[in-house]
Amino acid sequence: MSKNDKKAVGIFILTAGLIILLGQWGVFAFLGRVFWPLLILLPGVGLHLAFASRALPAWALIPGGTLTVYGLVFSLCNTWGFGLIEVLWPAFLLGPGLGLYEYALLGPVRPKGIYYASLGLIVLSLVLFIFSLLGPFFLYAFSVLLILSGAWLVFWPEIQPAGRRGKRRM
């Protein structure tokens, strides 16, 4: 065996030993537990970058936006605990909404239906975020709002619209 071959085999054996030792110490399990949301976030960012460099068409923004939002949500939950998903669950509607919105704005055709659907998903997501932040208080506030609206419709005197007053015919 030549001197270069011995060095190559030695580097391979050294690397294999280090990988096995780090695996036994739990380094890879720790990295997997901590950084797994990057497996979702990085493809989303990559799709955005591929669109920006004109390597992919505009439809790549739909999964790109969705994966980016989902990766951020899972990163937050992975950092501060998955109990946070009780508040962040509306982001699962926000992700496709943002992806569709990016496509509707930056796509070559700019279809109005997709634009309005994306805005609907984004607004619905934001409203649900507010409801999830308010928690049980929302049900009380919503019930009081319904009672007041119904009472107003039932008891408020009917207001006559300013219509046309009789015109004289000549």
Q: How confident is the model at residue 61 (pLDDT cuts 50, 70, 90)?
A: very high
- Which range of residues forms the domain containing residue 94? 38-151
Would residue 145 count as lying in a domain? Answer: yes
Q: CA 167: distance to chain centroid?
A: 59
Would residue 156 count as lying in a domain? Answer: no
Give the chain's domain count. Answer: 1
Alpha helices in the chain (DSSP H): 3-24, 27-35, 38-52, 61-80, 85-88, 91-106, 112-134, 136-155
Would residue 70 count as lying in a domain? Answer: yes
Report, as an integer, the average pLDDT of 42-49.
95
pTM for the model stands at: 0.68
Report, as an integer, the average pLDDT of 10-25.
84
Would residue 55 count as lying in a domain? Answer: yes
Q: How confident is the model at residue 116 (pLDDT cuts 50, 70, 90)?
A: very high
Length reported for the chain = 170
Would residue 166 count as lying in a domain? Answer: no
**Among candidate residues 132, 44, 117, the one with its CA nearest the CA of residue 85:** 132
Q: How confident is the model at residue 26 (pLDDT cuts 50, 70, 90)?
A: confident
Would residue 107 count as lying in a domain? Answer: yes
Would residue 134 count as lying in a domain? Answer: yes
Please determine, for residue 28, whether its predicted confidence score (pLDDT) is greater than 80.
Answer: no
Would residue 87 count as lying in a domain? Answer: yes
